[in-house]
């Protein structure tokens, strides 16, 4: 009798589960208006959907990269739906620019916002430009925007040149004509971190300060190392805080770095506020780094009857500085690494850019900021690398009310209007957009010339678009052009091959993506040959 009751109960539970999943699936189909697309067990950005690799039955988080050439072609349109049988809610994926503009346009009255769980990794330190919406976002933007000015870009250019020179000296590059870098990310990551730490945070650090990681997570940790640990994506940043108490080395290291950095940043806010208040009272110029400029803007506005609401709290100050450190470090480092790898794989394009550099700055002159706009071929190579390997590979938007979306019915111009229920998400597929032949002919090819011309360069989508486009775009391109110009003038970049490996095999191995919080090229081993023998 007990066995019968138990089996009956289990059968009832199983039946209820199946019925609930069927109802969920039918509701999902209704939510997306039965729009064509993928039917799967799990939505990619759920626990099981993310952990299980991308396969024929599980889209996974690598869906948009692994299927970048056929995902939308299979369905005859560049906006599709994903409806799960088990976990997650039905949503849309789009690589159509017109649809994307509808959901990322922003504005106080927009029906679309970033979902609350969309910025977990950068929200922990405080609300910031990335995590806020509507009126709060406008306040942050109005305060932060003025910090990104020509004076800042001059500082970025100066420091980028100096860091390259210091790197060459410290690494012993001046004493050799051949180098092997395995991988190049070791250098691009250090470079990008130093630029943002110096120009964004005002830290007095240099290339030798970026020492190797300590094996002992309880050992003394420097502030630069704590910053690096906190701004380098890792799975530990997505786990609940209670998980950080586990006696695991990388958890202990992250906790140590967070505790150290929290105390340091709070002390820095207090110290810089005192400095800024004194400078304002004495009518003196302040420091030029972004952190100091934000503190100064807040303190100045507090004393202004017209702008006393345009201020940032301590938490918001720290949150925005951390956001700039995080975004400015990883995204630039990834794109620089991709640029070097792609130029190594395309020596003809590299030679064209080298000749262009010599034509603009000559063989010996130190480039100056005024050269930036003349070095357009260097910039366009960086843009094309950003197109092919977009660090921000998706953007999430959620409807805050019942609304409508005008969607193409095919790859042509015919459209239809879909009713979008409140809570529905649209995933902006940046990879799909930047590999969409509608906008980029031969998207699989590395063609920097597609960006030649000011009007074309302004249309780059790797830095987002609309009112919420990346505020640090010019910051990133300034440091990239300075660094690439110095490097490519001094060195010819070639693939570093394994024994018996061909260049084509190297390209297949290296010109692929790895993905976590941001997307980046796989480890790229390269070799350098000095251009001008001493």
Q: Tell me, what CATH number does 380's domain have?
A: 1.10.630.10
Any domain includes 40: yes
Number of residues in the chain: 534
Backbone conformation region of residue 520, classed left if phi is above 0, alpha if psi is from -120 to 50, else beta: beta
The total of structural domains in the chain comes to 2
Q: Mean pLDDT throughout 164-168?
A: 95
Cβ contacts of residue 217 below 8 Å, gap of 6+? 249, 250, 252, 253, 256
Residue from 532, 142, 492 nearest 344 by CA: 492
pLDDT tens-digit profile of 177-211? 999 999 999 999 999 989 988 888 888 888 887 65
Residue from 504, 483, 516 nearest 332 by CA: 483
Any domain includes 457: no
Q: How many CA atoms lie within 13 A of 284 on its CB side?
A: 9
Q: Mean pLDDT throughout 167-174?
A: 92
Q: Are residues 49 and 191 in the same domain?
A: no
pLDDT tens-digit profile of 232-245? 655 555 555 555 56
Any domain includes 160: yes
At 231 the pLDDT is 60
Any domain includes 333: yes
Any domain includes 524: yes
pLDDT tens-digit profile of 352-406? 999 999 999 999 999 999 999 999 999 999 999 999 999 989 999 999 999 999 9
pLDDT tens-digit profile of 409-419? 988 888 999 99
Q: Are residues 19 and 87 in the same domain?
A: yes
Q: Are residues 424 and 476 in the same domain?
A: no
Q: Are residues 270 and 196 in the same domain?
A: yes
Q: Are residues 83 and 175 in the same domain?
A: no
3-state secondary structure of 396: strand
pLDDT tens-digit profile of 271-304? 888 887 777 777 777 777 888 888 887 777 665 6
CA separation for the pair 34, 30 (Å, rounded): 6
Q: Are residues 16 and 86 in the same domain?
A: yes
Any domain includes 502: yes
Q: Which residue, 414, 430, 446, sits at the end of a domain?
A: 430
Q: To which H or E segment does residue 519 belong? A: strand 519-521
Does this model's pTM top 0.85? My answer is yes
Find out whether 243 is annotated in a ligand binding site: no
Q: Are residues 404 and 388 in the same domain?
A: no
Residue span of the structural domain in which 100 resides: 2-120+400-430
Q: Are residues 26 and 167 in the same domain?
A: no
Any domain includes 438: no
Q: Are residues 166 and 255 in the same domain?
A: yes
**436 in Cβ contact with 78 (< 8 Å):** yes
Q: Are residues 82 and 170 in the same domain?
A: no
Any domain includes 437: no
Q: Are residues 234 and 315 in the same domain?
A: yes
Q: Are residues 287 and 415 in the same domain?
A: no
Structure-token pair, residue 268: 């820095």
């Amino acid at each position: 009798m007990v066995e019968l009751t138990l089996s009956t109960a289990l059968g009832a539970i199983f039946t209820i589960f199946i019925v609930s999943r069927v109802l969920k699936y039918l509701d999902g189909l209704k939510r997306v208006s039965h729009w064509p697309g993928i039917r799967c067990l799990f939505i990619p950005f759920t626990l099981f959907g993310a952990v299980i690799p991308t396969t024929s039955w599980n889209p996974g988080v690598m869906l948009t990269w692994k299927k970048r050439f056929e995902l939308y072609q299979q369905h005859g349109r560049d906006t599709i739906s994903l409806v799960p049988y088990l976990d997650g809610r039905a949503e849309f994926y789009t690589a159509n620019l017109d649809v994307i503009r509808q959901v990322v346009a922003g504005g106080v009255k927009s029906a679309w916002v970033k979902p609350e769980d969309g910025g977990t990794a950068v929200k922990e330190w405080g609300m910031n430009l990335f995590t806020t919406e509507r009126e709060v976002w406008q306040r942050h933007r109005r305060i932060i925007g003025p910090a990104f000015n020509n004076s800042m870009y001059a500082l970025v250019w100066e420091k980028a040149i100096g860091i390259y020179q210091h790197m060459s000296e410290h690494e012993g590059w001046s004493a050799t004509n051949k180098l092997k870098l395995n991988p190049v990310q070791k250098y691009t990551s250090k470079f990008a971190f130093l630029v943002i730490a110096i120009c964004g945070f005002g830290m007095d650090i240099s290339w030798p300060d970026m020492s190797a990681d300590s094996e002992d997570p309880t050992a003394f940790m420097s502030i630069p190392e704590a910053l690096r640990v906190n701004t380098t994506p890792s799975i530990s940043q997505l786990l609940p805080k209670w998980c950080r108490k586990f006696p695991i080395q990388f958890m202990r290291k992250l906790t140590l770095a967070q505790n150290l950095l929290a105390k340091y940043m709070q002390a820095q806010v207090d110290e810089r506020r005192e400095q800024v208040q004194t400078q304002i009272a004495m009518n003196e110029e302040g420091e030029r780094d972004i952190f100091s400029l934000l503190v100064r803007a807040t303190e100045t506005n507090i004393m202004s009857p017209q702008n006393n609401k345009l201020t940032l709290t301590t938490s918001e100050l720290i949150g925005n500085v951390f956001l700039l450190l995080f975004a400015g470090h990883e995204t630039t480092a990834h794109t620089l690494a991709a640029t070097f790898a792609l130029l190594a794989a395309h020596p003809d394009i590299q030679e064209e850019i080298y000749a262009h550099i010599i034509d603009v700055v000559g063989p010996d002159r130190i480039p100056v900021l005024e050269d930036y706009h003349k070095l357009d071929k260097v910039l366009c190579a960086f843009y094309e690398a950003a197109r092919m390997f977009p660090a921000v590979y998706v953007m999430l938007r959620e409807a805050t009310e019942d609304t409508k979306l005008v969607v193409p019915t095919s790859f042509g111009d015919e459209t239809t209007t879909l009713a979008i229920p409140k809570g529905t998400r649209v995933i902006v597929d940046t990879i799909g957009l930047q590999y969409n032949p509608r906008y980029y002919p031969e998207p699989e090819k590395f063609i920097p010339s597609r960006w030649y011309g000011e009007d074309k360069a302004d249309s780059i989508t790797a830095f987002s678009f609309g009112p919420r486009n990346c505020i640090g775009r010019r910051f990133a391109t300034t440091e990239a052009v300075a660094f690439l110009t110095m490097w490519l003038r001094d060195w010819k970049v070639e693939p570093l091959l394994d024994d018996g490996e061909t260049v084509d095999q190297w390209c297949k191995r290296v010109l692929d993506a790895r993905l976590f919080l941001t997307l980046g090229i796989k480890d790229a081993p390269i070799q350098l040959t000095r251009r001008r023998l001493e």
